[in-house]
Structures are given as C-alpha cells and as structure tokens.
Chains A and B, each alone.
Chain A
Amino acid sequence: MTRLLPVLTVLLAIVALWYAAVAPMNIRQALDMAERGGAVVVPEGSRVRSETSVWTLMAQNTGEIARGYALDRPRLPTPVQVGAELWKTTGEMALRGRAFSTRSLIYHGWITLQSTLFGFALGTAIGILGAVGIVYSRTMEMSVMPWAIISQTVPIVALAPMIIVLSSQLGIEERAVPKAIISAYLCFFPVLVGMVKGLRSPSREQLDLLRTYNAGGFASFLKLRLPASVPYLFTSLKIGVAAALVGTIVGELPTGAISGLGARILIGDQFGTPLAIWAALFAAAILAGALVTLIGWLQGLAMRRMGVRA
C-alpha cells in the first residue's frame, strides 16, 4: 500500500496534466468546427486565428473549449477517447465474436506478438550461445565482444528497410522473418551481457571445489555455471523481451507492413486517424507490460523451484 499510493498519485497527476493539455492543443480545431457549424467565434477565419496564440483564443472563446474534448480527429485525444477506441477495437469486437478480424487490435497484437516471441527466442539463443563461447574462448571474447558492443551503437532502424529488401529478394515471402531478425538484433545484446556476467559469477572456491570432486569442464558448466547464471538470465530476459517488442514495432513502422501494431500506427498516420495511432500505442504498452510481468512471474517460479527463498 505504501508503494502503491505514490505511484497512483503520480499517475493521477499525469492524467490531470493530459486533460489540461487537451484544451490548448485542440482549441484551433474546435474553433474551426464551431465556425463551420455557424457559431460566432472571435476572431473570425482560421487564417487570422493561426496568428493568435492559443491562450488568447481560449480566453476569448471560453464557451467553445469543451468542443475540443469531443473531436473526431483530435490533435490530442483525451484518455477517455483513447480508452473507448481501445475498447471498441478489442473487447467489443471480441464480444461480437470478431476478435480476429483485421480491424481488431487483438489480431494486430497477435501478429506483433508472434514476431516478438520468434525474435526473442532467436535473440536469446544467440545471446546464450555467444556468452558460452565468450566465457570459454579468449579469442572469441577478444574479437567478438567489441563488435557486440559496436553492433548496439548502430541504429538498427537504418538497417531495417535493408533487411526487409534483402529477405524479400532472397525469396522469403513471410513478413514475420525480417521483423523477427530486427527484434533478435535488439534483444540478443542484453542477454549476452547478462549471461557472460552470470556464467562468470561462480567464485574461484566454488570452481575449485568442483575440481576436487573430479568434475570435468562440461559437468562444472552444467552443475555450477549454468545454475548460477539463472538469476542474471531472467533479469536480462526482461530487458530483452521489451527490446524485442521495440524491434518488431520498428520493423513494422517504415516498411509498409499491413498487419501488426506498428502497421496500425503507420496506417493511422496515413489516414489521419489519431485515435487509431493512440489506441495502437496503448495496446503496445499493455503488451510490453504483460510480457515483462510474465517473465518476472516465471523468474519467481524458477527461483522457488531452485530452492531460492524470495
């Protein structure tokens, strides 16, 4: 409770700020609508108004401010509008049995989730294998590790369109493959770094103890290094899954994809429907939160199984 109260307060403050911001953001549009509807607006004509500051406009047309909170295509929608749009494209469609129609965010979220999980699995596998290689081979560490760091300073989005062109030229029709590659690219690094740390976490004494038991390299890997790295692994998996989702959405944004949350954002931009963009954004946020929570829950389960007391 003591931790919940501050978070809720801050959230409430953010929502209040958001509501306050809607009025100045939407006032011009609201006044244009009002004028078209025959109402008297000071000053007249949107050309004149574009040179007046929003605060003056709000002061002179106090009666029309409310209109800004109920626009069809607002510059800044209210939280309630976003929530309603989100419900309309998820829950309501699911209730009508059309959860997987192409207009529903459940369907687009599912497409995004698939690529994310695919890329996440790929990135995690590369990260773990790379970490094992780096821990056991000095040559690998010296030649690959610097490039792994450099690879993360390269803005992947510059490469995203190239990856998509390349894979379509190579005859890969499936849209999910290039997206998964991009998300694996973003996801492997935190896993790699965390696993290297984890595999190296056993102390000298522990490794020596295993040697006195006459354990070989493989046995000490399986029975000491691997279990010791599990907490590190889960911590980096949480970062990795969030990164994988970012990668998928980035992969969907600039490439003319048709389905997926990133594509909804793109289409919302092209058709000038801000509500669709905001709903897709919030759906992506909910998905990210759910994935991170799920891994946190798995972490707790695994740690309890391994006999660690929370």
Chain B
Amino acid sequence: MNLLKEMASRDRVFDFMAPARSPVDVRHGPILYLEDVSVSFDGFRAINDLNLTIDDGELRCIIGPNGAGKTTMMDIITGKTRPDHGSVWFGSRHDLLTMSEPQIASLGIGRKFQKPTVFEALTVFENLELAMAADKRIWPTLTARLSGEARDRIDEVLVTIGLTAHRDRPAGILSHGQKQWLEIGMLLMQRPRLLLVDEPVAGMTEQEMERTAELLTGLAGKQSVVVVEHDMGFVRSIARTVTVLHQGSVLAEGSMDQVSSDPKVVEVYLGTESDNTEDARC
C-alpha cells in the first residue's frame, strides 16, 4: 500500500507537465479507484475508509441503505466535496483531489444527479448543445458557431434518448422520465469515460424503466458506468457487479446473486429494502 502511495505522489510531481486533456491512462486496469477515503460532516462520518475500484468499460451498480454514503461518494469523485483523507485517482494519471469540478468534468467524468436537473428555460436541443464536448472557455463559447457535424451529433443523441420529437421545446415542460433521459443525453454529449448515474429510475413507469435499462447497458463497454440505485428489480436487470455500501464503507461486492445471499447484506437490508424515498437533493 505504502509503495503504491509513493508511486502516486511521485507521479503527481509531473502533473504540470501533462497536457491539459491528457488521455486517461487505463493500461494498469482500473479507470477509477478510491483508496482509504473518509469524510465527516459535523462529526458524522459519511464515508469511512472507503476503497473502491471501477474497471474500464464496466457497468457497476452501487446499492446501500439510506445514509450509506452513496451520494457523498459521488460528490467526492466529482470534486464537490473534499475528503478529510484518502486518495481518488482517475486512471493512473489524474489525481482528482487536486482538480476543480469543471476540470474533472472535462477529463471525462459525467454525473447525473438524483433529482433530474436540466436547464428548464432552454430547449432540449440547446441543453444538449451546451453539454457537448467543446472548448468551454469564455471567448470560444462567446464566438462559437454550431457546425453541421455537431448538429448531426446532437440529433444522433436525440435519437438515442428518444427525444427527437421534443427537440425545440423547452426542457422545463418535459415529463420526469424524459428529463432523466435528457440528462443522460447531456452526459453522452460530453463523451465521458466514466458516467456516474444517481438513481436513474426513481419515479419512472415500468416502460420508462425498461428503456432506461436498455440505454445504460448499451452505454457500458464504450464507457464505464456507475449506477447508484434503490430499485432492486432494476439493479438485477442491468447489473453484472454489485457493490453494497454500508455506513460509508464497502460491505460486500460480487454478482447480484452472491451479494443478496450474503448474510451481512441481508441483515443491513432487512426491512429497509422498500425504502425508496431518500430525500431529494442535487
């Protein structure tokens, strides 16, 4: 462990030499790893020595009871919350703890919030346009013109998320499920390497859920996808590997069948499985 840390810190010295958008180095396997991460709010330990590794192209589901630290973990990966200690690496080259949210986003980590947040005053098309991978500094943004290529790419994603018909309508009038897809679409526009998806099917109808499952499994392979979800049926339908979080650290990991027969997991989940109403926040 110590050796790894040393190597990590030696690598960090050369950070400034790396180009701004250096490719994510996944030659050593995992695309994301969290090591000994802890964070506490007002004495409450939300994350407690968490260790987690996500492989390139993997679709991983993360489950856990309320307060297990799922959302906080996402906050840490995306730079919204800084851990008290521990390290978070994207590939073997990028130390996420030294980066700001937009930097992390432009590295290729996309995040979908628990509560769908789209830009309600803008049209569906404009939402996707803003999300598109591009030079996002001020002047290029001010003078940007939409190329035919970009237009095609947006239309392509519109087809993927099934919102072509709503192209020029304000995102604010979409249904709940449509907003969720639009948000996933926005993530796709970023061409992310890693997608963090927080409760994608909360409040969806059966049909919408099926479509979402299709969407997510279709993404895996090209991208790594991490899904945090409460709905066990949905998890079972998409999951290859499942990680169970409890009190801020990993309780169990494996296939859905392995995990659900683990006595520790059963104990934690007894009577709480149906709890689907974790307070909504972004």
Q: Do A and B come from one complex?
A: no
* Chain A residues with a Cβ under 8 A of chain B: none
